[in-house]
Protein backbone atom coordinates (compact mmCIF):
# COMPACT_ATOMS: atom_id res chain seq x y z
CA UNK A 1 0.00 0.00 0.00
CA UNK A 2 1.36 3.39 -0.94
CA UNK A 3 1.06 6.32 1.47
CA UNK A 4 -1.43 9.00 0.44
CA UNK A 5 -0.14 11.81 -1.70
CA UNK A 6 0.86 14.77 0.48
CA UNK A 7 -1.22 17.18 -1.60
CA UNK A 8 -4.33 15.03 -1.38
CA UNK A 9 -7.42 16.83 -0.14
CA UNK A 10 -8.47 15.36 3.21
CA UNK A 11 -11.87 13.76 3.58
CA UNK A 12 -14.64 16.01 4.83
CA UNK A 13 -15.75 16.21 8.46
CA UNK A 14 -18.96 14.50 7.33
CA UNK A 15 -16.95 11.55 6.01
CA UNK A 16 -15.13 11.25 9.33
CA UNK A 17 -18.46 11.41 11.16
CA UNK A 18 -19.87 8.69 8.91
CA UNK A 19 -16.93 6.46 9.82
CA UNK A 20 -17.38 7.25 13.52
CA UNK A 21 -21.05 6.25 13.27
CA UNK A 22 -20.07 3.00 11.56
CA UNK A 23 -17.62 2.18 14.36
CA UNK A 24 -20.22 2.76 17.08
CA UNK A 25 -22.67 0.56 15.16
CA UNK A 26 -20.07 -2.21 15.12
CA UNK A 27 -19.48 -1.76 18.86
CA UNK A 28 -23.22 -1.93 19.57
CA UNK A 29 -23.62 -5.01 17.37
CA UNK A 30 -20.92 -6.66 19.42
CA UNK A 31 -22.92 -6.12 22.60
CA UNK A 32 -25.63 -8.50 21.38
CA UNK A 33 -23.35 -11.03 19.73
CA UNK A 34 -20.54 -13.28 20.83
CA UNK A 35 -17.90 -10.60 20.21
CA UNK A 36 -14.81 -10.17 22.35
CA UNK A 37 -14.99 -7.22 24.76
CA UNK A 38 -11.65 -6.01 23.41
CA UNK A 39 -13.11 -5.63 19.94
CA UNK A 40 -16.20 -3.81 21.19
CA UNK A 41 -13.96 -1.36 23.04
CA UNK A 42 -11.67 -1.02 20.00
CA UNK A 43 -14.59 0.14 17.86
CA UNK A 44 -15.79 2.48 20.61
CA UNK A 45 -12.31 4.06 20.77
CA UNK A 46 -12.23 4.37 16.99
CA UNK A 47 -15.63 6.08 17.01
CA UNK A 48 -14.37 8.68 19.48
CA UNK A 49 -11.14 9.21 17.58
CA UNK A 50 -12.92 9.74 14.26
CA UNK A 51 -15.57 11.97 15.82
CA UNK A 52 -12.87 14.14 17.36
CA UNK A 53 -11.01 14.36 14.08
CA UNK A 54 -14.25 15.36 12.33
CA UNK A 55 -14.61 18.31 14.71
CA UNK A 56 -10.99 19.34 14.24
CA UNK A 57 -11.31 19.10 10.47
CA UNK A 58 -14.55 21.09 10.61
CA UNK A 59 -12.67 23.85 12.44
CA UNK A 60 -9.80 23.57 9.94
CA UNK A 61 -7.37 22.51 12.68
CA UNK A 62 -4.51 20.22 11.73
CA UNK A 63 -4.58 17.12 13.88
CA UNK A 64 -1.89 14.56 14.61
CA UNK A 65 -2.18 11.15 12.99
CA UNK A 66 -2.50 9.39 16.29
CA UNK A 67 -4.77 7.02 18.17
CA UNK A 68 -3.96 8.84 21.42
CA UNK A 69 -7.16 10.53 22.57
CA UNK A 70 -5.26 12.56 25.19
CA UNK A 71 -3.17 14.04 22.40
CA UNK A 72 -6.34 14.94 20.52
CA UNK A 73 -7.79 16.50 23.68
CA UNK A 74 -4.60 18.59 23.92
CA UNK A 75 -5.16 19.69 20.33
CA UNK A 76 -8.66 20.88 21.25
CA UNK A 77 -7.26 22.77 24.22
CA UNK A 78 -4.56 24.43 22.11
CA UNK A 79 -7.19 25.40 19.52
CA UNK A 80 -9.46 26.69 22.32
CA UNK A 81 -12.28 24.35 21.32
CA UNK A 82 -14.11 23.39 24.51
CA UNK A 83 -14.78 19.72 25.15
CA UNK A 84 -17.96 18.73 27.00
CA UNK A 85 -17.25 17.70 30.59
CA UNK A 86 -18.68 14.22 29.97
CA UNK A 87 -15.79 13.61 27.55
CA UNK A 88 -12.96 14.90 29.73
CA UNK A 89 -11.88 11.36 30.76
CA UNK A 90 -12.21 9.83 27.29
CA UNK A 91 -8.44 9.32 27.17
CA UNK A 92 -8.97 6.12 29.15
CA UNK A 93 -10.07 4.54 25.86
CA UNK A 94 -6.69 5.10 24.17
CA UNK A 95 -5.24 1.67 25.04
CA UNK A 96 -8.14 0.01 23.21
CA UNK A 97 -6.79 1.42 19.93
CA UNK A 98 -3.78 -0.86 19.79
CA UNK A 99 -3.15 -3.10 22.79
CA UNK A 100 -6.51 -4.88 22.68
CA UNK A 101 -6.30 -5.78 19.01
CA UNK A 102 -4.12 -8.81 19.65
CA UNK A 103 -4.46 -11.78 22.01
CA UNK A 104 -2.52 -11.72 25.25
CA UNK A 105 -1.95 -8.01 25.57
CA UNK A 106 -4.81 -7.07 27.84
CA UNK A 107 -6.28 -8.03 31.16
CA UNK A 108 -9.95 -8.57 31.81
CA UNK A 109 -12.38 -5.99 30.45
CA UNK A 110 -15.44 -5.72 32.66
CA UNK A 111 -19.03 -5.03 31.66
CA UNK A 112 -18.59 -1.61 33.26
CA UNK A 113 -15.54 -0.95 31.04
CA UNK A 114 -17.53 -1.92 27.96
CA UNK A 115 -20.52 0.23 28.92
CA UNK A 116 -18.25 3.20 29.64
CA UNK A 117 -16.45 2.84 26.30
CA UNK A 118 -19.70 2.69 24.33
CA UNK A 119 -21.15 5.63 26.29
CA UNK A 120 -18.06 7.75 25.58
CA UNK A 121 -18.41 6.94 21.88
CA UNK A 122 -22.12 7.78 21.82
CA UNK A 123 -21.47 11.06 23.63
CA UNK A 124 -18.60 11.98 21.31
CA UNK A 125 -20.72 11.33 18.23
CA UNK A 126 -23.65 13.29 19.61
CA UNK A 127 -21.36 16.25 20.36
CA UNK A 128 -19.79 16.01 16.90
CA UNK A 129 -23.19 15.87 15.20
CA UNK A 130 -24.17 19.05 17.01
CA UNK A 131 -21.16 20.84 15.58
CA UNK A 132 -20.85 19.34 12.11
CA UNK A 133 -24.53 18.86 11.23
CA UNK A 134 -25.76 22.20 12.58
CA UNK A 135 -23.16 24.05 10.53
CA UNK A 136 -23.49 22.07 7.31
In the chain, the domains with their CATH numbers are 13-132 (1.20.120.330)
**pLDDT value of residue 69:** 96
Return contacts of 36-43, CB within 8 angstroms, 24+ apart. 37/109, 37/113, 37/114, 38/96, 38/100, 38/101, 38/106, 38/109, 39/100, 40/114, 40/117, 40/118, 41/93, 41/96, 41/100, 41/109, 41/113, 41/114, 41/117, 42/96, 42/97, 42/100, 42/101, 43/121
**pLDDT value of residue 103:** 77
**pLDDT value of residue 94:** 95
Please identify every stretch of the chain with a pLDDT value under 70, giving residue numbers as ranges.
1-10, 134-136
CA atoms of 109 and 93, how far apart (whole Å): 12
**pLDDT value of residue 133:** 79
**21 phi and psi, to 5 degrees?**
-65, -40
pTM beyond 0.85: the answer is yes
CA dihedral 15, 23, 67, 59 (to 10 degrees): 30
**pLDDT value of residue 101:** 73
Amino acid sequence: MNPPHKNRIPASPYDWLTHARSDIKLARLGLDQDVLPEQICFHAQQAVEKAFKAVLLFHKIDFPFTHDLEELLDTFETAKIPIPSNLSDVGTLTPYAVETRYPGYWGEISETDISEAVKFAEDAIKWTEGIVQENK
